[in-house]
């Protein structure tokens, strides 16, 4: 940030946070004071009052929505709520699921233009409702995802995204909800990996405040990828072989026992697998502990015999 400020503001580099904050105010505030138009998003739109609602913990949406002459609010069509009572319910769900707060620090409700006695506020206000594929989801297999209120609970509890971060897989929407929304908006052929970046443990569905069946939707996207022939042939062949063995319990048990012993041998004295068969990319930056050489069935049978 210090390097960016130095390059863009043409001022000596600051090292302290307080100094950088003061520089940001001195340089950026005149832009807000002289801007003719401010553009914001909207967490929700309320049809009953014609309001747009911004929910933040920083208050960073207030200057651009009250100081310029024109305010333009851009948000998706699924963000429209019928009444203030509906909004009160959703707001409680949003804050508690996102950050564990009873309510966020700033809840800004903007309704209409500046009145004669008002000291600030826009003279003109416009709403832009974005479809971008949302209407096409109505009545289909993925309609439930439109209930998402963008709280982030699914990402914060997902074992995959909790470890690697929200934007590790790119795109705008992070976490399990993004693994569903992005393929639906951008195209399933352009986002091959996203629906597969999940263990399908179900934790995201458990914590979702609006009860979206996220694992089921990701599974449907995976099915659609297979039906369209978008998955690699090696993967499809491996799944067919696995299904063939899984339908034959004795064969499956024998192969499992053989695989466990092979992996134990590959782990050597350290008991660590530096290279995983069919998972070379995954093992480039990490080792995996080798299994004990016996399957769960073997261990369970041995325990019962005692």
What's the confidence (pLDDT) of residue 282? 73
What's the confidence (pLDDT) of residue 117? 87
What's the confidence (pLDDT) of residue 270? 85
Phi-psi region of 268 (alpha: psi -120 to 50; beta: other; left: phi over 0): left
φ and ψ of 154, to 5 deg: -65, -40
pLDDT, mean of residues 265-276: 85
Phi-psi region of 30 (alpha: psi -120 to 50; beta: other; left: phi over 0): alpha
Residue 94: Cβ-neighbour burial (10 angstroms; 0-12, 13-18, 19+): buried
pLDDT, mean of residues 111-120: 89
pLDDT at 197 > cutoff 90: no
3-class DSSP assignment, residue 210: coil
> Considering the domain 135-231 in this protein, what is its CATH number?
1.10.1060.10
Neighbours of 265 (CB within 10 A): 10
Q: Where are the domains of the chain?
A: 35-130, 135-231, 234-305
At the topology level, CATH places domain 35-130 in: Rossmann fold (3.40.50)
Q: Give percent of the chain above pLDDT 70.
A: 100
φ and ψ of 28, to 5 deg: -85, -35
CA distance 275 to 156: 30
Tokens, residue 198: 């999940």
Predicted TM-score of the model (pTM) = 0.78
62-74 pLDDT, tens digit each: 888 999 999 999 9
From the list 214, 221, 93, the residue with the least C-alpha distance to 154 is 214
Place of tokens 């976490």: 175
**pLDDT tier at 161, thresholds 50, 70, 90:** confident
What element of type H or E holds 4? helix 2-9
CA dihedral 253, 259, 260, 266 (to 10 degrees): 170
CA distance 97 to 150: 10
What's the confidence (pLDDT) of residue 164? 80
Lowest mean pLDDT among 15-19, 62-66, 168-172, 260-264: 168-172
pLDDT, mean of residues 219-236: 91
CA distance 211 to 228: 29
Neighbours of 126 (CB within 10 A): 12
What's the confidence (pLDDT) of residue 294? 87
pLDDT, mean of residues 108-129: 92
Q: Give percent of the chain above pLDDT 90.
A: 59
What is the chain's mean pLDDT, rounded? 91
What's the confidence (pLDDT) of residue 181? 94
pLDDT: which is higher, 61 or 87: 87
């Amino acid at each position: 940030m210090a390097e960016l400020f130095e390059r863009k503001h043409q001022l000596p580099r600051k090292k302290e946070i307080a100094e950088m904050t003061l520089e940001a105010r001195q340089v950026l505030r005149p832009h807000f004071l002289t801007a003719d138009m401010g553009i914001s998003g909207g967490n929700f739109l309320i049809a009953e009052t014609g309001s747009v609602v911004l929910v933040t913990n920083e208050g960073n949406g207030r200057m651009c929505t009250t100081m310029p002459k024109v305010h333009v609010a851009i948000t998706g069509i699924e963000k429209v709520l019928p009444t203030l009572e509906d909004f009160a319910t959703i707001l409680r769900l949003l804050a508690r699921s996102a950050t564990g707060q009873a309510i966020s620090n700033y809840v800004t409700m903007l309704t209409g233009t500046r009145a004669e006695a008002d000291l600030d506020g826009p003279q003109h206000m416009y709403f832009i409702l974005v479809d971008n594929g949302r209407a096409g989801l109505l009545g289909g297999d993925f309609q439930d995802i439109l209930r998402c209120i963008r709280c982030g609970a699914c990402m914060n509890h997902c074992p995959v995204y909790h470890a690697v971060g929200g934007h590790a897989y790119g795109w705008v929407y992070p976490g399990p909800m993004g693994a569903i929304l992005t393929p639906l908006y951008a195209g399933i052929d352009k986002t091959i990996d996203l629906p597969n970046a999940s263990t399908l443990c179900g934790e995201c569905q458990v914590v979702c405040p609006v009860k979206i069946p996220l694992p089921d939707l990701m599974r449907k996207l995976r099915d659609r990828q297979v039906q369209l022939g978008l998955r690699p042939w090696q993967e499809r062949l491996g799944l067919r072989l696995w299904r063939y063995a899984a339908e034959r319990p004795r064969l499956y048990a024998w192969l499992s026992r053989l695989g466990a012993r092979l992996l134990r041998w590959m782990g050597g004295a350290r008991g660590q697998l530096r290279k995983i068969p069919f998972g070379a990319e995954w093992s480039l930056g990490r080792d995996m502990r080798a299994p004990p050489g016996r399957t769960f069935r073997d261990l369970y049978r041995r325990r019962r015999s005692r």
